[in-house]
Amino acid sequence: MDQRQQIKNALQLCIDKRKDELHALSWDIWSRPELAGEETRAHDRLVHFLSQDDPAWTVQSCYKLPTAFRASWGPVGGGAGYPVLNVAFLCEYDALPGMGHACGHNLIAEITVLGTPAEEDIGGKIELIKAGAFADIDLVFMAHPAQQDASFLPCVALDEVSVKYYGKASHASAYPWDGVNALDAAVLAYNNISVLRQQLKPEWRIHGVIKHGGVKPNIIPAYTELNFYLRTPLLKELCDLKAKAEACFRAAAVATGCQVEMTYPPNTFCNILPNATLANLYEMNGKELGIQFPKEPANFSGSTDFGNVSVIVPGIHPFFYICTNALNHTEEYAEAAGGEKAQLYTLRTAKALAMTAVDVVCCPEVLRQVREDFSLAKLKQEK
């Protein structure tokens, strides 16, 4: 048995030995869900867990962001002849409004050493990139719960737009002619987008809600607000979709006599760049552990701020089954994410990620291939 396999075996035993503690950690985060940017308890729980684990760990709480952390263990790649690499395992632990951990982020928190909050909202990883948190990182690993096991699913680019209409209030029955109806503008905008979908590419997505539609039926609304997500497979396609959507929003303003204001958050989510070498290694290690990968993974149109990380650092973001047919972002998935059955699949995924990291750290030729794949993917993204 070569040294690489010995290390892999030791990692598996270590994870098995700590499975009860890891389950307790996951359940604790699941049972007390916190929204994006507010994950103070999850942050403290994870920091405490890692601080007690081993004196070789150096744990930094509130790292760059109030609810982010960084935990470093020993000299990375310390063996003779091995490259000295800084390998990061990422986690998420924010929950969804009204649904708790319906995306299973409590499970991701079991397999990490770099805490990255607020994925569901502001894009915490993007803020960490801006703050320099990835400047000294060579490789990134992360996995996310889903409906199947897959070494790669094409997460798409995402932008968010807030659309506000300003009209004029008036009594809706006595003096309707004196008002300018901002709700009419919001309804027209929503319908304009619905009609626009007929002319969009099959892979493009646009969806939204009316966040504010007025105060009372007898008052013509002077203010309304909508919130839309725009998604395309590639970052460069977002500009075209944004232009089409903005035309719909402006047309509604012109038709009703309202003023319109469109604002975008500072963080745009990039699509994830694939890395064939890492994906193949992950599948090889996963199959050794009993993971079954479908020949044709299902289509997926979700988005993640990991895409922005994949643009600056080589990495992998596989998905893993957690013993449920429920879909992400549903109450049923939230329940499954807190269940004991999910633990087997979560820890098996943790082992596969760790084994893949060993393959790269212990083999300079593999590292070279990973970096070549990264460079090639970046070139394709920019064309």
Taking Cα atoms as reference points, which of 148, 190, 182 lies closest to residue 297?
A: 148
Q: So what's the pLDDT on residue 29?
A: 86
Question: Is the CB of residue 264 less than 8 Å from the CB of residue 230?
Answer: no
**Shared domain check, 131 and 12:** yes
197 and 323 inside one domain: no
pTM of the full predicted structure?
A: 0.82
- Are 174 and 205 members of one domain? yes
Looking at residue 376, its pLDDT comes to 92
What domain count does the chain have? 2
Question: Could you tell me which residues come within 8 angstroms of residue 326 by beta carbon, excluding any fewer than 6 positions away?
Answer: 332, 333, 335, 336
More confident residue, 346 or 53: 346
Among the listed residues 171, 76, 155, the one whose alpha carbon sits nearest the alpha carbon of residue 123? 155
* Choice between 84 and 30, residue whose per-residue pLDDT is larger: 30
How far lies 297's CA from each of 146, 368, 380, in Å?
11, 27, 22
Residue 76: its pLDDT value, please? 45
Based on the fold, state whether residues 307 and 374 are members of the same structural domain: yes
Same domain, 168 and 296: no
Inter-residue contact 360 to 139 (CB < 8 Å)? yes
> What pLDDT shows up at residue 375?
94
Domain span holding position 223: 157-263
Which of 14-18, 110-114, 242-246 has the lowest average pLDDT? 110-114
Q: Do residues 112 and 247 share a domain?
A: no
Residues 149 and 163 in one domain: no
pLDDT per residue over 287-329, tens digit each? 999 999 988 777 767 888 899 999 999 999 999 888 888 877 8
Share of the chain above pLDDT 70, in %: 92
Confidence of residue 1 (pLDDT cuts 50, 70, 90): low
C-alpha pair distances (Å), 130 with each of 37, 87, 152, 209: 16, 19, 26, 30
pLDDT in tens, 360-369: 988 889 999 9
Q: Check residue 33 and give its pLDDT.
A: 85
Whichever domain contains 329, its CATH number is 3.40.630.10
At 77, is the pLDDT very low, low, confident or very high (cuts 50, 70, 90)?
Answer: very low
Find, among 234, 278, 267, the residue nearest to 125 by Cα: 267
Q: If you average pLDDT over residues 26-53, what whole number do you get?
A: 84
Residues 198 and 283 in one domain: no
Residue 37, C-beta contacts closer than 8 angstroms, at least 6 positions apart: 66, 67, 94, 117, 118, 121, 122, 124
| CATH number of the domain that residue 181 is part of | 3.30.70.360
pLDDT in tens, 105-142: 766 654 647 777 776 677 888 999 999 988 888 999 99
Q: Are residues 252 and 115 in the same domain?
A: no
Is 168 in the same domain as 201? Answer: yes
**Boundary residue ending a domain (233, 263, 293):** 263
Q: Are residues 106 and 64 in the same domain?
A: yes
Final residue of a structural domain among 220, 246, 263 = 263
Residues 13 and 148 in one domain: yes
Last residue in a domain, options 197, 229, 263? 263
Answer whether residue 262 shows pLDDT above 80: yes
As a whole number, the mean pLDDT across the chain is 87
Q: Which residue has the higher pLDDT, 107 or 172?
A: 172
